[in-house]
Structure 1
Amino acid sequence: MTFDDFKALARQTLRNPEQAARWLIGQGWPMQVRWMALVLAVSLSGVLAFVSTLLFPVPEGQATILPIAGQPLVLAGMQLVAIVLGAGLMAGVGRMFGGHGRFEDALLLAVWIEAMLLIVQAAQIVVSLILPPLAGILGILAIALFLWLTVQFTKALHGFTSGPKVLLVMFGTLMAMGFVLSFFMAALGLMPEMPQ
């Protein structure tokens, strides 16, 4: 894929995400290419997060929400696991509801969502340097873009027609995953202690 192809696909993703998803799936790239794209995407995301912490350090004594942002390898590893898990859920839960998507294609679509979010992440860093108040708006837009693309790509992956139903199932899955993860974290003693 050339840079011009990348730009064209990014524009197509914003205009017609389902068509862009079908084009990506139709390329038939081997699994090795999909894994390499995933590693590249999370590596770039980790680097951008690290650059962001260098440009906008947290003041001394102030608690930070994501202290791992200063550790790009750890952040990239966590993102890699999250994307693989998300792709597994996109494929598996969709099939439970009558879809026909495969994990390989869900992984490719999840990587492309990450690539689109990288563009927003880079823009957010630039905007933070020029017009800091607008950076927060870009953060909200990134969340909205993630949800919208995930719904549209899931529809394309499984052949679903209802966006609201996909969104509802997605939120239900996220809540169930949050419950399961909190249970495991509590069992492993990783949950923060409650004040007495």
Structure 2
Amino acid sequence: MTPAQFSDLVWRTLSAPRDMAEWLLSLRLSEAVLWPAFALVVVLDTLFFQLLVMQAPDQVLLVPALASPVLYLALSALWLSGMILLVTGIGRMFGGTAQAQDVAVLVIWLMGLDALVSGLQAALVAVAPGLVQVVAMIATFAGIWLSVVFISVAHRFTGPFVAMFVLLLSVLGAGLVLGLALGFLGVSNYGMLQDV
């Protein structure tokens, strides 16, 4: 895939997310493709986030322990797998029809775009640091909107409201899992690793 083709896919995601979601699902990607894609986006997410942390730690680190690349990588993988399972399971509880592989394709693509946003932010720190938070805010709202559309397409919901509820419950569930994982690893309420 050339940079121009990739840019076109990103633009299609933003301009016609429903069509893009349908196209991604139509690829019927196998597990042999999804697992490497899963690993790739987790590594890219970790790499770009760590670059951002190195340049502007005060702007991005709510939990100082996440400055550890190994910890961040593990939590990123946990978050991604948790979202795939939760969006699939909760969506089916509300009448959705998506399989885990369907959801995986869409969630992996969205997380890949999120990783690129972190890379963009890392680049902006050097030339326009004031834009870092602006990009983060825009990306957050765009990510929510795209997630709702993608969930709606994957589960064949007729409207956005059920998809919004599924997304909310999935994020809360994944956040709870991450919180438990941080507690198990000995990260305090202040985000610092405790002596054990």
- When normalised by structure 1's length, the TM-score is 0.83
Give secondary structure in 1 for the equivalent of 2:126. Answer: helix
1:85 is aligned to 2:119: no
Work out the CA distance in 1 between the residues paired with 2:5 and 2:129. Answer: 31
> How big is each residue's C-alpha offset from its partner over 1:169-190, in whole Å with a ceiling of 9 and x where there is no partner?
42244445656776x5799696
Alpha-carbon contact 2:83-2:174 (below 8 Å) kept: no
| Aligned counterpart, 1:40 | 40
Paired AA for residue 104 in structure 1 = Q
| Aligned counterpart, 1:52 | 52
Paired AA for residue 120 in structure 2 = A
1:120 is aligned to 2:113: no
Alpha-carbon contact 2:80-2:108 (below 8 Å) kept: yes
Alpha-carbon contact 2:29-2:105 (below 8 Å) kept: no
Work out the CA distance in 1 between the residues paired with 2:36 and 2:104. Answer: 11
> How big is each residue's C-alpha offset from its partner over 1:9-55, in whole Å with a ceiling of 9 and x where there is no partner?
11110011111111111112211211101101110111112222222
> CA 1:176/1:56 → structure 2, altered by over 3 Å: closer, same or farther?
closer
Give secondary structure in 2 for the equivalent of 1:161. Answer: coil
1:157 is aligned to 2:154: yes
Alpha-carbon contact 1:38-1:111 (below 8 Å) kept: yes
1:26 is aligned to 2:1: no
Alpha-carbon contact 1:53-1:69 (below 8 Å) kept: no
Further displaced range: 95-104 or 118-127 = 118-127
Number of residue pairs matched? 188
Alpha-carbon contact 1:124-1:138 (below 8 Å) kept: yes
| Aligned counterpart, 1:8 | 8
| Aligned counterpart, 1:61 | none
> CA 1:56/1:161 → structure 2, altered by over 3 Å: closer, same or farther?
same
> CA 1:33/1:54 → structure 2, altered by over 3 Å: closer, same or farther?
same
Question: 1:107: how far off?
Answer: 0.9
Alpha-carbon contact 1:49-1:69 (below 8 Å) kept: no
Work out the CA distance in 2 between the residues paired with 1:46 and 1:191. Answer: 19
Work out the CA distance in 1 between the residues paired with 2:62 and 2:183. Answer: 23
Work out the CA distance in 2 between the residues paired with 1:189 and 1:28. Answer: 37
Question: 1:79: how far off?
Answer: 0.7
Question: 1:111: how far off?
Answer: 0.6
1:136 is aligned to 2:133: yes
> CA 1:41/1:175 → structure 2, altered by over 3 Å: closer, same or farther?
closer
> How big is each residue's C-alpha offset from its partner over 1:111-150, in whole Å with a ceiling of 9 and x where there is no partner?
1001111221111112222121211111111211221111
Paired AA for residue 87 in structure 2 = M
Alpha-carbon contact 2:83-2:171 (below 8 Å) kept: no
> CA 1:171/1:33 → structure 2, altered by over 3 Å: closer, same or farther?
same
Work out the CA distance in 2 between the residues paired with 1:86 and 1:188. Answer: 20
Gaps of 5+ in 2: 190-196
Work out the CA distance in 1 between the residues paired with 2:175 and 2:74. Answer: 19
Residue identity (%): 25
| Aligned counterpart, 1:66 | 63
Question: 1:192: how far off?
Answer: 4.6
> CA 1:159/1:66 → structure 2, altered by over 3 Å: closer, same or farther?
same
Work out the CA distance in 2 between the residues paired with 1:125 and 1:104. Answer: 31
